[in-house]
Amino acid sequence: MSENQHLASGIDQRRHVALVIYPGFKTLEATGPLSVLGYATRHLAEAGYAGGYDVTIAAPEVGHIPSDTAMSLEATVALEKLGAPDTALIAGAARIEEVLSGQHALVDWCRENGPRVRRCAALCTGSFFLAEASLLGGQRAATHWNYAERLRQRYPEIDVDADAIFVQAGRFWTSAGVTAAIDLTLAFVEQDYGRDIALGVARDMVMYLKRPGGQSQFSTLLTGQMAGATSMTKVLTWMSDRLDQPLSLSDIAAAHGMSVRSLTRAFTAEFAVAPMAMLEALRCDRAKALLLDTDLPLKILAYRAGFQSDEQMRKAFRRRFSLSPREYRARFATSGTSPD
């Protein structure tokens, strides 16, 4: 069955998702995915489909469960009665080691039901629960960058990816910190009901369907702009607005009434990188977004990102990311075949 046929056959199918929480869970890692699932169900209904998500909030005990903020959520099902839903989302916590030591019931549920759930997703530090249940051994996994080393040291058998937004290893999915839970849930919507529904949800939430880059970086432009409104940040913005033009160092200097030498000295002092190296980084940022958000052929995509050829783009990607553009697109694509 083709991917389109698979989606057509399942677009009227309802799916049961369980959000698993406990005292001290991270608020946004619960409310973000809940919003995605709610928007997706609404988009499906508006399009005349019967599909959508039936969400259960589960916890070790039923009742109001306090989060790490002033908000609490009501769990209506106890973990011991949850069983194995179609999809499980396990929220993370800031003080994860402390929570882990007190949530034996959640670890036991993961160990018993994780292998039976079609998709079992651990959000942010929720990956510690799957790791403690011995479900991630020998597999690649993500978590919040600030907890990656702790996860690696505590469970050395896991291949911890400190930069990935989310990772799929068979039926087990793990995500980076906080807002990455939204990225992962959008990937589930795309897998279940197709790109158009997922893209509609992303637009509602003013998000990328597939955000470019990894969790350890801001975009190159935003990183530069954090320095404040200086003459060099204006140069940076000017460059970013003209990525599709064949800019030379002389062009940039002339446009700002500076000599090449003065521009290079001032720009490098401000950003610790030369102007042309920054220009390449900006073009790579644009190329990454196009790789993940479009199906454009590499040659056309390269020109839109400002490279003179797809070969020039390939060399830049190899130099900066140790990946070719094609490999980058394949690695960070959200679509794929789910486990049986």
Contact by Cβ (8 Å): 172, 130: yes
Q: For the segment 249-305, what is each residue's pLDDT rounded down to a tens digit?
A: 999 999 999 999 999 999 998 888 899 999 999 999 889 888 877 889 999 999 999
Residues of the chain with pLDDT under 50: 1-3, 6, 216-219, 222, 226-229, 334-340
Residue 50 buriedness (CB in 10 A; 0-12 / 13-18 / 19+): exposed
Tell me the backbone φ, ψ of residue 155, rounded to 5 degrees: -130, 75
Query: What local confidence, expressed as pLDDT, does residue 220 receive?
Result: 55
Query: What local confidence, expressed as pLDDT, does residue 340 receive?
Result: 36
The enclosing H or E element of 88 equals: strand 87-90
pTM exceeds 0.85 for this model: no
Question: Two tokens at 113?
Answer: 């039901």
Query: What local confidence, expressed as pLDDT, does residue 216 receive?
Result: 42
- The CA distance from 91 to 111, in Å, is 16
Query: What local confidence, expressed as pLDDT, does residue 106 receive?
Result: 97
Query: What local confidence, expressed as pLDDT, does residue 221 receive?
Result: 53
- The CA distance from 64 to 76, in Å, is 9
Query: What local confidence, expressed as pLDDT, does residue 323 receive?
Result: 86
Query: What local confidence, expressed as pLDDT, does residue 321 receive?
Result: 84
Q: Mind listing the domains of the chain with CATH numbers?
A: 3-204 (3.40.50.880), 220-332 (1.10.10.60)
Q: Could you give the strand order of the β-sheet that contains 52-59, starting from the edge strand earlier in sequence?
A: 77-78, 52-59, 14-20, 87-90, 119-122, 172-175, 166-169
